[in-house]
Amino acid sequence: MKPEQFRRWEEGEAQPTFRQAQSIAQALRAPFGFLFLAEAPTEGPLLPDLRTVGGVPAARPSVDLIETVRYAVQRQAWFVEYLQEQGAEPLPFVGRFTVTTQPAEVARDIRDVLGVDVEQGQRTWDVYGRELIEAAERVGILVMRSGIVGNNSRRKLDVGEFRGFAISHPLAPVVFINAADAPSARLFTLLHELAHIWLGSSGISNATPGSLRSEEIACNAVAGEFLAPSATFTQRWVAASRDFPTRVSELARRFHVSRFVVIRRALDLGLVDRDTYTSAYRAELDAFRAENGGGGSFYRSAGAKNGARFSRAVIAEAFSGRLMLREAGRLLGIQPSRIRGFAEQLGR
């Protein structure tokens, strides 16, 4: 399309054909019906926007972020109705604490509910992350992870825009992790979003250090306390090697977390400066992007995107005949013909 032609449409000098109008709506990610209105309707935010950049609120969410939140909200709505039909009871830990509760108390309760102890270096941090996700799903939290919008691999989520979000609900709380982020950073985001659930707070986060928002400050503190309790961490930091890389590696092994989490925790406790943290995070993200060239397993990606708990519920309803395969495919974001293969992969 020539820019001159598009300008004529915008200024009302000419009109596109029906087919051209459809193409415009698709390119702009806008509902086709919007083009027939005198003014585009204003859409309120689906979730509170808690992101900050340089201490001030972030810019308006992108279309990619808005659609990703909308997908999660739609899946949650279906699951809430499913649970209500099953007679499910509210989850007691949702909203159990407030932003004024001591982070150590919240972190301790999350450990108790999930059934995990303070990590003492028994596992690698990636295994630890998977175990935490599985534990969160077991107690009733829907954990969704994706680095793209829906199934469109050309629409990658921007980790610079957001790291995750939480949708608090007494029956079916949702935690979403931006899988475009470095895996080592996702562990911190997971705990940050779980803290939102324990505080009964919904919102889009970028987990920025130094945020002035009370919810973000509290959730960052809980995540850090869960992964590396402050008293023990500070003692180990002081006693560790004077060589910075060696010191970080020693604490990473001790707390069974990534080097990123160690440096993030050190920043939050005032043990390193912001430049050191930023440099370390960029190195982690660059390394992940350099290695992440392949597309991965379709079924594994679908399982992560929807969460195991949600996926199993949809599949069970579809196989029982209470839910049409077409609707199940829409909820899961896969072709109906692939649902059986997905179910077999999910059961392994």
Least confident of 55-69, 134-148, 319-333: 55-69
Average pLDDT over residues 7-16: 89
Q: Alpha-carbon distance 167 to 104, whole Å?
A: 23
- Which pLDDT band holds residue 126 (cuts at 50, 70, 90)? confident
* The pLDDT of residue 143 is above 90: yes
Q: Which residues have CB under 8 Å from 208's CB, separation 6+?
A: 51, 52, 53, 216
- Which pLDDT band holds residue 153 (cuts at 50, 70, 90)? confident
Q: Alpha-carbon distance 160 to 158, whole Å?
A: 5
pLDDT for 39: 84
Q: Are 189 and 34 in contact (CB under 8 A)?
A: no
Q: Which residues have CB under 8 Å from 66's CB, separation 6+?
A: 43, 46
- Residue 185's alpha-carbon distances to 9, 43, 85, 283, 291, in angstroms, are 45, 31, 37, 11, 15
- Which pLDDT band holds residue 179 (cuts at 50, 70, 90)? very high
pLDDT for 2: 85
Q: Are 142 and 76 in contact (CB under 8 A)?
A: yes
Q: Are 171 and 142 in contact (CB under 8 A)?
A: no
The percent of residues above 90 in pLDDT, for the chain, comes to: 43
Tally Cβ neighbours within 10 Å of residue 26.
10
Long-range contacts of 186-190 (CB under 8 A, 24+ apart): 186/129, 186/145, 187/125, 187/128, 187/129, 187/132, 187/227, 187/257, 187/258, 187/261, 188/223, 188/224, 188/227, 188/260, 188/261, 188/264, 189/163, 189/164, 190/129, 190/132, 190/133, 190/136, 190/143, 190/164
Q: Alpha-carbon distance 263 to 285, whole Å?
A: 14
* The pLDDT of residue 209 is above 90: no
Q: Alpha-carbon distance 303 to 298, whole Å?
A: 9
Least confident of 133-147, 198-212, 300-314: 198-212
pLDDT for 300: 76
> Which carries the bigger pLDDT value, residue 204 or residue 43?
204
Average pLDDT over residues 248-258: 82
For the record, the structure tokens of 76 come out as 């949650």
Rg (CA), the chain: 22
Q: Are 139 and 58 in contact (CB under 8 A)?
A: no
> Which carries the bigger pLDDT value, residue 281 or residue 144?
144
pLDDT for 218: 93
Q: Alpha-carbon distance 305 to 311, whole Å?
A: 9
Average pLDDT over residues 127-142: 93
* The pLDDT of residue 268 is above 70: yes
- Residue 122's alpha-carbon distances to 51, 156, 184, 252, in angstroms, are 34, 34, 17, 12
Average pLDDT over residues 301-314: 90
DSSP class per residue in 28-57: TT--GGGGGSSSPPPPPPSS-B--EETTEE
> Which carries the bigger pLDDT value, residue 101 or residue 280?
101
Average pLDDT over residues 315-337: 92
**Arithmetic mean of pLDDT over the chain:** 88
What is the sign of the dihedral through the CA atoms of 120, 123, 124 and 126? Answer: negative
Average pLDDT over residues 271-290: 83
Average pLDDT over residues 264-282: 88
